[in-house]
Structures are given as C-alpha cells and as structure tokens.
Structure 1
Amino acid sequence: MDPLVSIIMPVYNCDKYIDESIKSILKQTYKNFEIIVLDNNSTDNTLKIVREIKDDRIKVIQLGSNKGLNASFEEGLNHAKGEFIIRHDPDDISLPSRIERQIAYLQKHKELGMVSCLIKCFTYDTDYINQSTFIEKIQNHYIDKESILNAIIGNFIPIIFPTLMIRKQLLNKIILSQLNQEFDDQIELLLELIKIGGVEKVNKVLYSYRRHNEAYHIVKQHGYEEHTRIALENSDIKNHILYSKLYQNAKINKVNINLNQRSDKRILMLIDSLNIGGTETHVLNLVKSLIDKGIHVVVGTSGGPLTRMFEDSGIKIVKVPIKGDYISNRHIFGLLNTVKQIIDRENINLIHSHLFGSMSIANQIYKKYNIPYIVTLHGLFYPKDVLYSTCINASSIIAVSEPVKEMICGQLGKRVKDKVIVIPNGINIQEQTKDKKDNTIRKKLNIPDDGIVITYCSRLAWNKTIAAENFIFSCHNLALQYENLYAIVVGDGPDSSIIKREVDLINNSIGRDLLHLEGASFDVIQYYLESDIVVGTGRVALEAMSCCKPVISIGNEGYVGIVSEEMKELQWQTYFGDHDAIEKPDIITLGKAIRLLLDNPKDRKKIGLWSKKWCKEMFDEDLVAHRTIELYEELI
C-alpha cells in the first residue's frame, strides 16, 4: 500500500477560501492521504463549509479557542498517522500532481528529510499584483540545496512552509514546544528542520500561494521581517551551513545529554560564543570531564560552529544572546533576565564564566542576586577596565598560565592576589593516542608515506598570522634541500586570504605542492598523528605533544623554540610563546629549529615520547577537572 500522507490544516475565519483549498487536495492524483482540519474557534462559516464537504479522509478537530498556527500544527501532528506531513494553508491551492511528485522525490532521495516545490503566487487584489510577481520570481530562483543554503546565509529564506512535504520521523526529532512561539509562523521549525534534514525543491510549480489583505504575513509584515531576522540570528543555522563539511568529517560518537540532576554542584558555564578556538575547545573538554564526574553543568552561550559538537557530546546548551565584547546597559537587563531564568530552572549555585561578555553578566548576576561566580582568564588580551569591572567581585580567578596570573595580579594587585589560582588547559591523553588509520590526510593531499610532514595549526589572525608566515617561508627555504618535505597549515580566520596568496606563490615558484592550506578542522588530531613535526602554541602544542610529536613553540607573543625536557619550565612559563616569549619570530631562527629536528630523527622520537609523558603529568584533563571540582567545593 502507498505510504499515508497527513495534511494538517489549521483554520480560522477563512470561509472565502477554504472550500477551494480543501478540494484542491481532494483532486490529487495521489489518493492515500488524510486531511486534519483544526478549527481555532472560527466565528464565520468556515467550520460549516468544511463539514459540508463529504469525504471520509477529512477529520475535523475543534480546538475550542484560537490557539494559533504553531499550537494547532502541534495538535494536528499528534493526531497524524502519515509517514509524510504537509501543513497546508486554507487560503492556498495544491496542484493535482503535488503529492505524487513530492513523494516520488523523497523516495528517490532518501538522504533528504523534506522537499519543497516551485510556486505560483497569485492575487485578485490589484494592490498586491507587483508583490505577488516579486515573491514568485525570487522564491522560484532558489531550487537546489546549495542555492537554498546560500540564500539563508544571505539572510533570505527561500522556502514557504506549506510547500513542504516532511518526513514525520524528522519532525519527531524536534520538541515543538521549545521553539519560539511569539510570532504565529513556523520559521524556527523550518530552520531546525533544514539543519537536521536538508531540503531541495521539485523543479515544477505545484503550489499556488495566495496574497490578500487578510493574509497573516501582510497584516504582520513588519513584525514578520524583524522576527525572521532574529530567528536566523538565534538559530545558529548560518554556522551550521558554513561548517557542515567540518561536521561531516568530525569523528564524534553522539551521546545523550547527561544533566546529573542529583548533583549538589550545579554549574552554569557561561561562554560568549562557541567558535573554533583553544578557549572553546578547553571549555568543551572541561565540561565533558565535569559531567563524567557527576557535576551538573549547562552551558550558556550565543552559539557558534562548535554548538553541535557540544550537543553531540551530551552537553545541554542554553541560549544566551551575548553580542560583542562590551555589553550596553540597555542590553544587559535582557541578558540578566534570561540568565536568571536559567539559574532558577536549573537550580544553579555557581557560575563559571569565560571571555568578556560572560564575565560581565556573571558580575551583574552576583551583584543583583548574590550568586557566586568564577572567572577563567585564557590569555593576556583582557583590557584593564574589563578585568576591573568583572574580577573584583569574583569568588575565584583561574589563570591558565603563570604569565596570565602575573598579568591579573599586576593589573589589580592586592584586590585579587589571594583569589588567583593557576589551572592549565587540560587535554584527553587517551583520545589523542588513537592509532593512525591508513594515513588518510597524506592520501588526501597526495603526500607519499615516506614524506616528512610539518604541520602548523592556529587561527589566522593577529600575531599568529605572522607566525604562520614565518612557518611557510621557512619551509620554502628548506624545500630545496629536503625534497621530501611537505607542510600543512590548519586553521582559518580573517587573514586566511593573505596566507592563501603566499602559499600559492610559493607552490608555483618551486613547481610542486609543498604547502597545503587546509582551513579549519574539528579534528586536528588527525593532522598531528600524520605529522613528523608540529609548530604551534597553547592548546596546539599540548595536543600535538600528547600525540608523541616534537613541537616547536611559536605564538602571539613570539618564539620559544623546541619543546624539550631541558626547556619545559621556560615553555610553561611562556605558555609556549602565546603568553610570553624569548624573542620575536623570524624565518632564520624557526628554520634552524626545523632543520635540527629534520636532521635528527632519533631525537624527534625521543622528544615525542617525553612530550606525551610530560602532558600526562601536567596537563591531563582528568587532573584539571579534579582541581576545578575542588575549587567548586570550596565556593559552594
């Protein structure tokens, strides 16, 4: 038997159009469907007209009050028996072959969760003729998946919800009641569906979309435009689209969210955004470790590329729309209300904040509600006014390195001296020592198995761009002597285009692909495992060392050199060149360090084995989590 299609039609006072709309469905070439009409307490003849249409496939549910489109659709979905779902507007018309063609498309494209179609936008009101022509033209311009997603990145949604046929199993993955219901539309639902199910269009007009002066989007046009802007911003869909390839390549086993509801340590981890960087990765690993040790943790953030990684790791994310480093007085009040609701709902008794905006919010929450908070300082980039306004009231301040501790004590002196504790970033040693699998990176980049690979990994911004340039030009100088040398740059940022131009120039000049610019990656470990030498700073250095790789440290503050047992104290005191340095980087100095490791493979192996041992003793995330929990216990 053909799969059943459930057509959900919320209605309210639409007696002018309802008969034509329902009969357009009854004329479908595909016959195995049900129509679920949900009446929102209409006061005109809508319900009477529906009951006069005699067809056993029509089911009428009277809601008793006007619950609106979103709630009506959810009620209809609860009654739907179909494998496929359509929400049909009662003033629109489906062309006869619509259902048949859309089912055929989804059966052919099993990877898609839903499919739309082209539209005919029509009106009998001369005031809306030009508008109808524009809507039809622009909606039908975007057909394939790539063009649809590019439109969304450009702040335009080229999908009209009732044109969709949706797999019910896709809808079952979304908790509708948790979506924003302020505007009586389904923009949030549409964006969530696109994130988890993808969408394309049948390249044929199958739906007639009516414009008239009672249409919801016309009556509420200004509100609709503003709501759409906010929905696009809050849904994090742009990051999802832009980083979709990274998600596909990320090796992570999705686990269910674990909240440890019985824990007496209830932490709100506040972080401005979840971009791809050392701070965010540290927070991800820390929260995972805390949850594994029975701590109740939820993460409050504005979102970002790593959001899905957090959620797939079993971490609960709550939306806190922190925008920018400095929060205005007008904006702070809305944020405080949002955060206080989270605190009350989750019974939070301690806030742990990271980065500028989160630190400001934690301070304001403390002053208003007397909830203690911890600040973690991740570098030397904090202005004194930010430190003063956020750290004075903190119950404790975690510095990730000795230079950071010296910085905060130097800036604020006696006011914070007794509150500062050094806890380094932690790494999962076991996770970094997985076996290499068929040299996948080398195969992808056409690097031979006997090639010597040097990897530089960093965000391409600030002084780290200078470090990247020193790296690629050092490799260029060495390539003439070492014909089997290959170099990889992993990372993106505002200076990516600069590095790309230089990489292309060098590769063209020597006539081979010496340098490979890989962009951002969620799984940088795979690059370290297939490298012979790693150049970087901070978390890059730690993760590479945990993979038994020799590291040359160079970062925002400058050059420190090869990380070895003899140099370990200096490396820790400078945090591998990111928080202090012994000299400014230059091509000659970096080249000498690379050459030294290239010429001494036994030393490379010896340094790599020691590096892993030192990481286990000093930076294991289990130790970091234990020290963090001890601090929590002191404060709660």
Structure 2
Amino acid sequence: MDPLVSIIMPVYNCDAYVDESIRSILQQTYTNWELIIINDGSEDKTFDKITNFKDSRIKLINMKIHKGLSSAFSEGYKLAKGDYILRHDGDDISASKRLELQVSYLENKPKAAMVSCLISCFTLEPIFRSDCIFIERIQNSYVHYDQIEKAILGGFIPILFPTLMIRKSAYDEIYIENKNLSFDDQTTVLLKLIELCPVEKIDNILYHYRRHPTAYHIINRKDYEQDTSRLLKNTSVKNQLKYREFYGDLSSSTKNKLIINEKSPIRVLMLVDALNIGGTETHVLNITKQLIEMGVYVVVATSGGPMEAIFSSYGIKIIKFPFDGDYISNKKKNGMIKQLKGIVDKENINIIHCHLFASMQLASELYRNYQLPYVVTIHGLFYPNDILFSTCIKASTVIAVSIPVKNMLDRKLGNRIKSKIVVIPNGISSDIIKGSDINRDIRKELGIPQSGKILCYCSRLDWNKTDAARVFLFSFSKLLDKFPNLHALIIGDGNGRESIEKEAQIINDMAKDKVVHLVGAKANVIPYYLKSSVVIGTGRVALEAMICKKPVIAIGNQGYTGIITEKTKAIQWEMYFGDHAALEKPNVSKLADDITFLMSEIERRRVIGEWGKSWCEKKFSISKTTKEIVQAYKNALNI
C-alpha cells in the first residue's frame, strides 16, 4: 500500500486564500493523504470556508483561542498518522504532482530523512513583485545538499519549511513542542532536521509561495530576521554541518566512561579556547583521559567545538566558557575572571593548565589576582610574542611539546623562564587500536578493490598543510602508471578542502576512475591507517600511524623530513616530523621517490612498521608523559 502523507495546515485569518490552498491538496495526483487543518482562533470567515469542503481525508481542529503557528502545528502533529509529514501554509499552493514526486523520492532513497523542492513566488500586490523575483531566484539557486549547507554556514537558509516532506520517524527524533520560543516559527525545527540529515531539492517547481500584506513573515519580518540571525550564529549548528562526517564517525563508536576521583588532592582546570579538530585538541583529550585514569580530578573549560562530543563521551566534565577570539580585551577581562573564579571555587580547583592564547591570558590573570598557580603547554611555533611574554614568565612550568618549541622559547624569553621549561612530547598508547573498529572494511565503504593499495594523507587542511596535501596529490598522480590499483586517501577538513577536492577530481578524471578519496575529518582515524600501506603526515598523525605499525613519511607545516626510520629518528624528533622544523620544502619528486621506495619494498615496510611501534611505546608513552605533567603539578603545589 502507498505510504500515508499527513499534511498539517495551521491557518489564521486567511479566508481570502484558504479555498485555493485546500483545492491544491484535493487536486493531487497522489491520493493517500490526510489533511489536518488547525484553525488557530481565526476571527474572519476562515472556519466557514474550511467547512465547505466535504472530504473524509480532511480533519478540522477548531481552536477557540489564537496560540500561534507553532502551537497550532503541534496540535495537528499529535493527530498525524502518516509515514511522511509536511506543513502546508493556508495561503500557499502545491503543484498537483508535489506529493507524488516527493513520496517517490523518499521511497527510492530510504536513507534520506526529507526532501524539499523548487518554488515559484507570486503576488497580486505590485509592492511585492521585486521581492518575489528575488526570493524565487535565490531559493532556486540552492538545490544540492552541499550548496544548501554552504549557504547555511554563510548565514542564509535557502529552504522554506513548507516545501519539506519529512519522514515522521525523523521528525519524531527532533520533535519540539514549540511553546516558549522567542519567535513563533519553525526555523529551529528546520535547522535541527538539517543537523540530523542532509537535505536537497527535487529540481521541479512544486510549491507556490504567496506574498501579501497580511502574510506572517511580512507582518513579523524584523522579528523573523533577528531570530534567524540568532539561530545561525549557534556554533553547534555550524559544527554539525561543517563536521557532519566527523560526527557520523563518532556516533558509530561507544566509549568507556572514566571514573572520576572526586577526592583527588590535585584538582586541575584544563583551559582550552576551543575544541576544534587538530593535534592540540587531541593532545588535551589524551592527557585529560590519562590524568583522570591516574586519579587526578580534571574539569575542562572551553567555548566548545566539534571535539566536545568526544570529551563528553568519556564522561569528562565540560564547562562552557565564552572564550571570544585570541585576545581578551580589558573591557571583558574582569567579567571573565570573575566567571572563572566561580568555576575554581565551585570545583575546588588548585591548579590551572592552559594551552592556547585566550586561555593563557586568563590563567596569568587568575594568578595575578588570586595567586592560583598555572602550567602552560606550548604546542607549536605559532604563539605571538606578546602572549608568550605576558603569560609564560609567571607560570609555574612551561611545557614545550618539542625541541624546536623549547629552542623558540629559549630564544625569545631567555633566562626569564629557562629553569621553568620542560620538554614533554605528545603521548601515545597502543590502547587506541583496541578501542577502534579494527575490522571495519574501509575498502568496501570507499569502493576500493580488496587488492587495492592505499596511501593515506591525514592533516587539517589549513595553512601550509593544504600545500602539503597538494604536494601529496601531485606525487600520487605521478605514481599511477607505476603502481596499478593504487588509491589515495585524504583525511581532514579545513578552509583548503574545496581546492583539494577540485584537484582530486582532476586526478580522478585523468585516471577514469575514483582513485582519490576525500573522507573529511574523522573521530576515529585508526581503521584508515590499519588498511593503508603508507601514511603521510606529521605530529600526532605520525605517532598514531607508527603505533599501528605503519611506515610514515613526515611532512608538516615547516616542510619535509622524509621516511621515519631508526636511522633518522633523532632528526625526526628534533624537527618534530616536519611540523616545527624541516630538512627542505615539500617536493613532489622527493615525496614520489620515497613512496616508490616503500611501495616497492614490502619487507622493508614491515620492518619499519615494527620498529616505529616499538619506538613510540618507549619515546612517546602516554603514561610516561602524563606522569611528567603530574610532577609539574606537584612542583607547583609543593606536594
């Protein structure tokens, strides 16, 4: 039997238009529908007009008191029995094939939660004609889901809610009974649906959107624009869209909750400006987990970000704090310090550990006002001089994650902090493999033959690392004739992704096959490393790949340092795998030669992989590095 469509039509004082709107439903070529009309306390002849229609599929709810569009919709939704839901405005018109085409789309795409369509915008009022031309053109310019999501990230919603047909199962998942919204509209619901699942439009005009003087969004235009602007500034919405692949990957794995030691004598407030996807944030996650496992009490204060979900999945306590940019203005400083002091007092914090620019400024200010000791970790060479001078000198300990970072601090701050600097690298543990889905069939997911060989590049696609990704792609393209059935995998996201996607498409077109696969940012990269022959990357990527027994070619922000081997381990550590220093600039021919060597020498790959795992376990053990951090805390607290 054909699925039932529940059409919910809230109406209020629209007697001039409701006849035409209802007739457009009665004229549908698809006939298995129910029309639930909620007369929201209309004071004109709307109710009388509706009662003129005699069709058993029409159900009328007559509300004596006007409650608003969202509340009226909720009343209708409670009665809906359909497999699919749509809201139809009482002054608009649906094309006769609308239901037929939208039902067909969703039946043929069972993973799609909803579908929209193109519109025509019409009016009988000369004053609205230019508006109609603009609305129609701009709404119909965004059809594919990636175009729609880029528009939302840019601050514009190119979907009219009544154009959507939605699976009831999806709507049930995000259902909000809108009673106390700041504005009586369903933009909140629309954004929650788009967070849940991508949406695209059928490339046909199926909805006719009317503009007239008493239209809801005409009367309430200012409130609507303000509310929409507020919603689009919500970082959780933008993170969900920008990192959809990342969150999808995260949802497929479960985490063991950490046991929190509420009675620990060491109570740390971990300050980190944001929890974006990158090496710094992953380092903070891993040391926080290890500290908690060692019995240290840790709370993380942050503005949030895509990695917040991972922290929370382990049971790590997150306190949202309004870090706003890299520098704290004097105007905001006092209020932020009071707020942080409130957290310190409530959680009985006795030491701060800070990592990025704003965090460092606030930690030093807390010390100045309250003598609360703090530890700073410097993660790279990108810290501004004024931040280093104003925050490192009063710190109890300054942790450099590499030798080049220590040298930079020595050069800039000299004897003022010389006795305070310690080098503690990022830590790694083979437990990251145990917690991964090691049997996940990456080849099947990406359409790579089981006999295919994979080269994996992993990095944030920003700054110089986008150039490094480009060098990798060019090197890969040179090897396609030499190594048949070779595939390139790029993990990562950032501002450079769009340009990398274009270059990847050129290579795929040349190869007449999909040989370059961009998978975006991933919460769990280990299954991808395990299926790769060679991993190209730097910093934490290098450590994680080596712990997976994979040979690594190091290339980072500063440049190229080549294959990581027992012979080159000293210089690789001294340069932190090309991220903090380098032997040379990234070079297509050099990278191609090193890949060729590793792909041609199967036994050599195995030996390098075995050695790399052993070296990581000795040099970069997470338990060892975290014990050194705990010692820094104890020194600061004199315990």
Identify whether the pair has TM-score above 0.5, normalized to the shorter chain.
yes
Paired with 2:111 and 2:304, the residues of 1 have a C-alpha distance of 30
The residue number in structure 2 matching 1:577 is 578
1:289-328 equivalence runs, <5 A: 300-301=302-303, 303=305, 325-326=326-327
- For the 8 Å contact 2:443–2:449, the answer to whether it is kept is no
**AA partner of residue 425 (structure 2):** P
Deviation (angstroms), 1:160: 0.9
SS in 2 for 1:173: helix
1:208-607 equivalence runs, <5 A: 208-222=208-222, 224-225=224-225, 227-229=227-229, 231-234=231-234, 250=249, 253-255=252-254, 263=262, 270-272=272-274, 274-275=276-277, 277-286=278-287, 300-301=302-303, 303=305, 325-326=326-327, 336=336, 349=349, 353-360=354-361, 375-391=376-392, 397-408=398-409, 410-412=411-413, 422-432=423-433, 440=443, 457-459=458-460, 488=488, 490=490, 522=522, 524-526=525-527, 528-557=529-558, 562-565=563-566, 568-580=569-581, 604-607=605-608
Q: Please, which moves more after superposition, 564-573 or 496-505?
A: 496-505
SS in 1 for 2:272: strand
The residue number in structure 2 matching 1:190 is 190
The residue number in structure 2 matching 1:162 is 162
Q: Please, which moves more after superposition, 211-220 or 306-315?
A: 306-315
Q: How big is each residue's C-alpha offset from its partner over 1:240-272, in whole Å with a ceiling of 9 and x where there is no partner?
A: 556656776x48624489697995768565343
The residue number in structure 2 matching 1:131 is 131
The residue number in structure 1 matching 2:116 is 116
SS in 1 for 2:578: coil
1:48-63 equivalence runs, <5 A: 57-60=59-62
Provide the identity percentage: 41
SS in 1 for 2:111: coil
Paired with 1:345 and 1:98, the residues of 2 have a C-alpha distance of 59
- For the 8 Å contact 2:559–2:583, the answer to whether it is kept is yes
Deviation (angstroms), 1:334: 12
Q: Which runs of 5+ in 2 are unaligned?
A: none
SS in 2 for 1:193: helix
Deviation (angstroms), 1:134: 3.3
Q: Please, which moves more after superposition, 46-55 or 132-141?
A: 46-55
- For the 8 Å contact 2:461–2:469, the answer to whether it is kept is yes
- For the 8 Å contact 2:537–2:554, the answer to whether it is kept is yes
Deviation (angstroms), 1:118: 4.1
Q: How big is each residue's C-alpha offset from its partner over 1:349-389, in whole Å with a ceiling of 9 and x where there is no partner?
A: 57755433454566678878998765432111111112234
- For the 8 Å contact 1:117–1:205, the answer to whether it is kept is yes
- For the 8 Å contact 1:447–1:486, the answer to whether it is kept is no
Paired with 1:140 and 1:472, the residues of 2 have a C-alpha distance of 35
- RMSD (Å), alpha carbons: 5.8
The residue number in structure 1 matching 2:172 is 172
SS in 1 for 2:580: coil
Deviation (angstroms), 1:541: 1.8
Deviation (angstroms), 1:447: 10
Deviation (angstroms), 1:196: 1.5
Paired with 1:86 and 1:497, the residues of 2 have a C-alpha distance of 34
SS in 2 for 1:608: helix
The residue number in structure 2 matching 1:616 is 617
Deviation (angstroms), 1:234: 3.0
- For the 8 Å contact 2:3–2:32, the answer to whether it is kept is no
- For the 8 Å contact 2:546–2:609, the answer to whether it is kept is yes
Q: Which runs of 5+ in 1 are unaligned?
A: none
Q: Please, which moves more after superposition, 465-474 or 190-199?
A: 465-474
Report the CA distance shift for 1:38/1:351 in structure 2 as closer, same or farther (over 3 A). Answer: farther
SS in 2 for 1:195: helix
Paired with 2:77 and 2:230, the residues of 1 have a C-alpha distance of 26
Paired with 1:202 and 1:333, the residues of 2 have a C-alpha distance of 50
Deviation (angstroms), 1:345: 14
- For the 8 Å contact 1:269–1:353, the answer to whether it is kept is yes
Paired with 1:485 and 1:334, the residues of 2 have a C-alpha distance of 61
**AA partner of residue 215 (structure 2):** A
- For the 8 Å contact 2:575–2:581, the answer to whether it is kept is yes
Report the CA distance shift for 1:241/1:587 in structure 2 as closer, same or farther (over 3 A). Answer: closer
Paired with 1:342 and 1:284, the residues of 2 have a C-alpha distance of 24
Paired with 1:479 and 1:89, the residues of 2 have a C-alpha distance of 56
Paired with 1:10 and 1:203, the residues of 2 have a C-alpha distance of 27
SS in 2 for 1:166: strand
1:144-163 equivalence runs, <5 A: 145=145, 148-149=148-149, 151-152=151-152, 155-163=155-163
1:74-93 equivalence runs, <5 A: 83-93=83-93
Paired with 1:183 and 1:117, the residues of 2 have a C-alpha distance of 25
